[in-house]
Structure 1
Amino acid sequence: MNEGLGLVTIEVCDYGSLTVQHLEKIARHPEVAVMNYDCLNVCGMCSLKPFAIVNGRRVFANTIDACLEKIEHRVNEELKALQ
């Protein structure tokens, strides 16, 4: 997986349903870095819904596919803001 420059970071929890593998397509952007942590200290969130933290903001949805769409949208917004 491309580690990127880290201009946009996506953080996921080991215990959540959303994994680094789900984010491979999004992480192909050279400006995106995906980081995996044992725990993100958002107590209980990982057991409720798929979620990630994109540049410090929580992104979540009821399904993995819906969450991935929201994450990709947020990443695109962040990249536009950097230009």
Structure 2
Amino acid sequence: MNEGIGLVTIEVCDYGSLTVEHLKKIARHPEVAVMNYDCLNICGMCSLKPFAIVNGRRVFANTIEECLEKVERTVNEELSALQ
């Protein structure tokens, strides 16, 4: 799934607990692109905790809700840095 123009990219693993569906609200920003991959080659991370990679930075938490909050915070930081 590609959304937006991709100044900020969020990458998720197909096998992780954090999915593209969870990120739909954040992906509504036109500057954000959400990409899903079969594997992100961070061995074992997807089975341990919800995680995503935002502009190359690993973002993870113990729950999906916490991870979504952290992802959104990280996206906002990245967008602020671009202004």
| TM-score > 0.5 by shorter chain | yes
Give the 3-state SS of the residue equivalent to 1:67 in structure 2. Answer: helix
Aligned length: 83
Cα deviation digits, residues 21-49 of structure 1 (max 9, x gap): 00000000000000000000000000000
Residue 30 of structure 1 corresponds to which residue in structure 2? 30
Q: Give the superposition deviation at 1:3.
A: 1.1
Give the ranges of 4+ consecutive aligned residues of structure 1 lying more than 3 Å apart after TM superposition. none
Structure 2: runs of 5 or more not aligned: none
RMSD of aligned alpha carbons? 1.1
Please tell me whether the aligned partners of residues 4 and 27 of structure 1 are also in contact (alpha carbons under 8 angstroms): yes
Alpha-carbon distance in structure 1 between the residues aligned to 2:6 and 2:19: 18
Specify every segment of 5 or more residues in structure 1 that has no aligned partner in the other structure, as ranges: none
The alpha carbon displacement at 1:17 in A equals 0.2
- Aligned-pair identity in percent equals 88
Alpha-carbon distance in structure 2 between the residues aligned to 1:69 and 1:58: 14
Q: After the TM superposition, which of the residue ranges 35-44 and 1-10 deviates more from structure 2?
A: 1-10
Aligned to 2:50: 50
| TM-score using structure 1 length | 0.97
